[in-house]
Amino acid sequence: MKITILNGNPQVSGFDTYLQQTQELIEEKGHQVTQIMLRDLPLKYCTGCWGCWVKTPGKCDADYASHEMDEAVINADFVLWAAPMKMGYPSELLKMAMDKHLPLIHPYMEVVQYEAHHLKRYALYPRLGLVVEKEADTDEIDLKLTTQMFQRTALNFKSRLYFSLASETSVNELVETILDQTAKPLAMPSTPRPTHGTAVKKVSSITLFNGSPRGSRGNSAIFLQKLAEGFSGESKLINLVNINATDEHLQAFREAKMVWLAFPLYTDSMPGIVKHFIEALEPLVGQSNNPPIGFIVQSGFPEGLHSRFVERYLEKLAIRLGCPYLGTIVKGNGEAVRIMPDNMNKNLFDGLLTLGRNLANGEELNQTTLAAIAKPESFPKILAPVFKLFLRLPIAHSYFDDMLKKNDVYENRYEQPFIKADR
């Protein structure tokens, strides 16, 4: 077997020793191991440019360091995601790397298990496993939520998650689990129901954190601006893409009367830049008077259900920070918002204005409005054949086809740049 270990440990620690011992034992058993120390790889954050889909199909045109990693991943029989837990989720470093797996799938959609998912780019994908090192306050809920989000990521990367373990597991047991080719993948979790936020007293201002890797050019900024319009009070918009200003972002959070954090769904959780910000909030854990916080998660998938898993993490994050949880606004097909005329976004914008007014009045977010924004939560199973048929029509892929043709790479759209002869 060929095994690739993605070591997302941001600094030297005993976790490295654990993974090195794992590699050595696997190699003793006659298997080939490639361990990539992500902290030594000059990876860049994904910027949401989609160059890997529409400019250089199958590989990131802005981050050559990711090519080595993606080649090692797609040519492996098994990939082990490995990282310490940070603020209830594996490290920012691993998250940044996972965002760079995007070139390994295709932008076109298909129906899988009655849901919209991306098409394969390659014929074969590795089995996947996860091992984490607990932090001091890691609990069973953190591990469960992390496992579920990684299961969803595995599904979107045309594979399945076969185990989710903590580094308390012995090296021998971890190796046996990796090498067990008769093992069955973990049973897929059912979709969580929407969370329910709480009302807080009226505040005079809200601080808006935009977690879009595109900054003010992304859809998340539009969502936040419309929410602020409904609030009608003082608001401040901060773009988290400016990583060098993290200290200022942390101070703005400390001083905020109310916080809203918006971001696009990235590999079934948050973008790497958002995880960077979340980890920067760690000094505030346990402090009193942290501001109430709400979230907006918008995705390119048409159904709201894809964002329900990270929504549960965000609810737990609010608890970890001691922040009153205002709720999460979920929207599928969010990518279309910035390219459509305002009249086609009227229902969405009206809904966001309503939710902003709820906040201004010290009310809970209106549940009917939240449900309307999230529609369709899922497609009725009876419509799956119709959806499949639609996805075979040229119009279903015209958005990406137009960009591919503009860049003169339409004929290369199914390119497999990292394939090796023995795959």
Tokens of 118: 């991306």
User: What is the pTM (predicted TM-score) of this model?
Assistant: 0.95
Helices (H) and strands (E) in the chain, counts: 14, 13
DSSP class of 117: E
Q: What whole-number distance in Å separates Cα of residue 412 and Cα of residue 419? A: 15
How many angstroms separate the CA atoms of 143 and 165, rounded?
Answer: 9
Residues sharing a CB contact under 8 Å with residue 393, sequence separation 6 or more, in sequence order: none
Q: Give me the helix-helix angle, 272-280 and 92-99, nearest 10°.
A: 170
What does each C-alpha distance from 307 to 91, 313, 322 come to in angstroms? 20, 10, 23
Phi, psi of 311 (to 5 degrees): -60, -40
Nearest to 419 by CA among 89, 80, 154, 58: 58
- pLDDT tens digit at each of 423 positions of the chain: 999 999 999 999 999 999 999 999 999 999 999 999 999 999 999 999 999 999 999 999 887 889 999 999 999 999 999 999 999 999 999 999 999 999 999 999 888 888 989 999 999 999 999 999 999 999 999 999 999 999 999 999 999 999 999 999 999 999 999 999 999 999 999 999 999 999 999 999 999 999 999 999 999 999 999 999 999 999 999 999 999 999 999 999 999 999 999 999 999 999 999 999 999 999 999 899 999 999 999 999 999 999 999 999 999 999 999 999 999 999 998 887 887 788 889 999 999 999 999 999 999 999 999 999 999 999 877 777 777 777 777 777 888 999 999 999 999 999 999 987 666
Quick one: how far is CA 319 from the chain centroid?
20
Ordered structural domains, the chain, with CATH:
2-179 (3.40.50.360), 205-374 (3.40.50.360)
